[in-house]
Chains A and B, each alone.
Chain A
C-alpha cells in the first residue's frame, strides 16, 4: 500500500524529500551497511521521536551524489566507513562545522576534524595476522619492516584500491614521507605471496592454508570469524595469531567510521542529535559488541572477543593527516605496481 502510494507520488512529481521534509526527520547517506546501525537508528527513533531515513551506498558514490545534488540534496548527514571519503567530503565543501560539547567530550581530538566538520564513531585497527608455525612474533615489528626481503613470498593483502589499504599507505606517507612510503610499497609488492585478490577474510584463510605467512587485515574480521556460525571460520581464525604493528614506533594504524552534517542539511539540529547519540556510551557499546569494532568513545570498552586481542598503542596522528594523503597513496601504490 505505502509502496504503491510512494510510486504514485513520485510519478506526480512529488519528491520524497519535499513531501516528507518534516521537522521530526533526518535523512542519512551512509556507507555503513551493518545491522548494528539499523538497531542504533531504531533506538534513536524511539528515544528522540525523530524518524531516521537512510540510504546506504558506497562512500565515493555518496560523495559524488552530494556534489551533484548541491543545494538540492535531501541529505542531512553523511556516514562513511573510512577517513579518506570523509576528508574528501570536507575538502569538497560538502560538510559544515558543528559545535557540540557532547561530541568534543565523547570523541578524542585525533579522531575528529580540527574544524569540527566530521567526527569518528568507531575505530578499526589494521593489524597483522600470521601463521605461528612459520613466523615467530619476534620477527615482527612495524609496517615498514614488511618490505624486508626476509618476508619474500610470504605477505598477503587485498588490492591497494581497498579503502583500508589506501588509508594505511596514506598514514605511512604522513608519518614517514613520500620517498619512504614508495620504498615500503615497492618492497611490500616484492614480498607478496600472490597477487592481491579477495577480501580481508580471504587473506586470513590464505594464511591458514599456507599460501602465505602473514596478512594485513582489520581486527574486526578476525572478531567476526571467531564468532561465526560456520565452524570452519572459527577453526581458521583460531589457527592464526594476531600482531599489533609499530608498537615501538608510531603505533598501530587506525581508521574510523565517521559522520558529518551536510552543508545544505535541512534538519541540522536533528543530525547533530543523532551524531551525539551515536557517540554516547549506549550506542558505542552496541557498535563494539555487534561488529567487533573499537569504540571511539574512550569511556566504552571493546567487545569480549576484541578484548582478548589485548591492548595496544594506537597511532594518534590526527586522521585529517591521513585523509590528506589518500590520493597520493593511490599514486604511490600504482607506481609500486601494487594492483
Chain B
C-alpha cells in the first residue's frame, strides 16, 4: 500500500499526459521524423519571431503583473479594491478578440478616429509589436492572480524586519518581497509563456510567423499532419528542457518559508501624492488592458442591439456547466498530485509532473489530435465507439491542456505550508484523509480558489480542443465568438464576448466575497 502511494504522483502524471504520450508514440510509430516542407530559412524566421514575442511578452507581463499584484496586495489607495477585481478581467478576453477590438479601435475610420472626428487618424498595430502588446495585456493577470496571493500573505515579521534593517523601498522590494513571491510569479509567467507559444489565432491575424504558425502551415498548408506533430514535439522538447533547467536553478534558491502561523502584515494606507501615483498607474493599466477593449465591444454591442441573437445565452449555459465540472476535476487532481509529491516524493514523480504540464505549451488543436489518437485506440480495441465524440474526450483534453494552469497555484500554496505542519500531523497520528480534509484543504483554500478561477476563465475561452472534440450540437460561447469573428462580422461577436467577460467578473466577485476572504 505504502509503495503504491509513491507511485501515485508518477501515475497521475502519466494519465494526464496520455495525449502527449500518444503523440510521441504516433511520432515514433510513423517512423517519419522529417520536416521537409518547411525550409531552414522559414524555421529561422519562426524561431526569431517566437523569441521576440516570447521575451517581449515576458517582460511586459512581469512589469504589469508584478506592479499590479504588489499595489493591490500591499497598499490601500483610492479604488484599490475595485482595481484588484479589474486586473483579473483581461484574462476573460480570448487574445484574438482583444486583438480584433484593438484593431477596431485604431484602424482607419476606427473608433479612435470617430472619437477625434479625424477619419484619417489610424495606428497600424498589425505587426510583431502589436501582437506582443496584445498578448501581454491578455496574459498579465496570470502573474497578477498568483503573485497577489503571495504578496498578500507576507507576514508582519518580514515587514518588521525590513523596517528594523531600515531598507529603502526599492531595496526591500527587490531583495525581500520579490524573492518571497518568486514561485508564484514564476508559475504565472510560465502559464503566460506557454500560452503565448501555443497561440495561433492572434499571431496569424497579426501576420507574425511564429513556431505555431509553422506547425499549422505543415498541417493546413501541406496537409501534412505528421510533420505538424514532429514540429510540435520539437517545441515540446525545448519547453521540457527549459523547465528542467529552471527547476535545477530553483533548487539552489530554496528560501521560501512563510508560514501561515505568523500574522499577515496589514496593508499600507497611501496618502497624497503616493495615493495619486498608485491610482494613476492602476487607471492607466486598466484602461489599456480592459476599458478600451470593453469600450469597443460595448460600441459593437450597441450597433448589433437591434438584431441581437439571444441564443448566445444557451451557449453560455453549455459553457458554464461543462466548465465547472471540468475545473473541479482538474483542480482536485492537481491537489492530489502535489500532495502525493510532497508526502511520497520520487524522481519519477518530478519527471511526470513536468511532463503533465507540457500540454499547455502546444497548440490546443494538436492536443486534440493526441486525444483523438488515444480515444480511437481505445475504441478500436473495444471494436466499437466507446470514447470518441464523448464529453470524456473533451474533459480529458482540458485536463491535459490546462493541468498547468491549476498546478502552479496549488504548488505555490503548498510551498507556503511549513514542513513542521506535516511533522505535526504525523506526530499526532492524524489519518491520511483527516490530514487532507482538516489541515491541508482549509489551509490551501485561497490557492485552490485562485487556481480554480484561472481554470474557469481559461476553459471558458478555450477554443481549439473544444472545436475538435466536442459532441454534436454542443457549442460553447467561445465557439460562438469564433463563428462570428471568422465570418468577419465583428460587431456581432461583441455580445458573446461581453457575456464571457461578465461571467468572469461574477466569478471573480464570488471569489473575492467573504466566503473566501474571511479565511485569508
Asked if B257 is an interface residue, CB under 8 A from chain A, the answer is no
B472–A27 touching, CB < 8 Å? yes
Asked if A35 is an interface residue, CB under 8 A from chain B, the answer is yes
Please name the residue on chain A nearest to B482 by beta carbon: A33
A11–B391 touching, CB < 8 Å? yes
Q: How far is the CA of A9 from the CA of B470 in the complex (A)?
A: 14
Q: A55-B470, A159-B207 are in contact. Are A69 and B391 (CB under 8 A)?
A: no
Question: In the assembled complex, which residues on chain A have CB atoms less than 8 Å from the CB atom of B391?
Answer: 6-7, 10-11
Query: How many A-B pairs fall under 8 Å by CB?
Result: 174
Stretch at the interface among B157-165, B216-224, B440-448, B501-509: B216-224
Question: In the assembled complex, which residues on chain B have CB atoms less than 8 Å from the CB atom of A331?
Answer: 37, 222
Stretch at the interface among B2-10, B146-154, B377-385: B377-385
Partner of B467 from the list A61, A69, A74, A221 (CB cut-off 8 Å) is A61
Please name the residue on chain B nearest to A29 by beta carbon: B472
Interface residues on B, range: 35 or more
Question: In the assembled complex, which residues on chain A have CB atoms less than 8 Å from the CB atom of B124?
Answer: 211
B488–A199 touching, CB < 8 Å? yes
Q: How far is the CA of A57 from the CA of B322 in the complex (A)?
A: 19
Dominant SS among interface residues on chain A:
helix
Say how far B203's CB is from chain A's closest CB, in angstroms: 10
Please name the residue on chain B nearest to A31 by beta carbon: B486
Asked if B487 is an interface residue, CB under 8 A from chain A, the answer is yes
B468–A57 touching, CB < 8 Å? yes
Question: In the assembled complex, which residues on chain B have CB atoms less than 8 Å from the CB atom of A13?
Answer: 386-387, 390, 392
B483–A56 touching, CB < 8 Å? yes
Asked if A180 is an interface residue, CB under 8 A from chain B, the answer is no
B309–A35 touching, CB < 8 Å? yes
Most B Cβ at <10 Å: residue of A10, A53, A224: A10
Question: In the assembled complex, which residues on chain B have CB atoms less than 8 Å from the CB atom of A63?
Answer: 223
Q: How far is the CA of A17 from the CA of B473 in the complex (A)?
A: 12
Partner of A17 from the list B219, B304, B388 (CB cut-off 8 Å) is B388
B205–A199 touching, CB < 8 Å? yes
Q: How far is the CA of A7 from the CA of B491 in the complex (A)?
A: 33
Q: How far is the CA of A230 from the CA of B493 in the complex (A)?
A: 13
Say how far B99's CB is from chain A's closest CB, in angstroms: 10
Q: A55-B471, A60-B219 are in contact. List 14 more A-B contacts (CB 8 A).
A: A4-B321, A34-B483, A56-B467, A64-B219, A69-B388, A198-B126, A202-B103, A208-B108, A209-B120, A221-B488, A230-B303, A327-B221, A330-B37, A330-B221
List A residues at the B interface (Cβ < 8 Å).
3-4, 6-7, 9-11, 13-18, 27, 33-35, 53-58, 60-61, 63-65, 67-70, 72-74, 88, 159, 161, 166, 195-202, 205-206, 208-209, 211, 221, 224, 228-230, 232, 235-236, 326-327, 330-331, 334, 339
List B residues at the A interface (Cβ < 8 Å).
37, 39, 42, 103, 107-110, 114, 120, 122, 124, 126-127, 204-207, 209, 216-217, 219-223, 225, 300, 303-304, 306-307, 309, 317-318, 321-322, 325, 365, 368-369, 372-373, 376, 379-380, 384-392, 467-468, 470-475, 479, 482-483, 486-489, 491
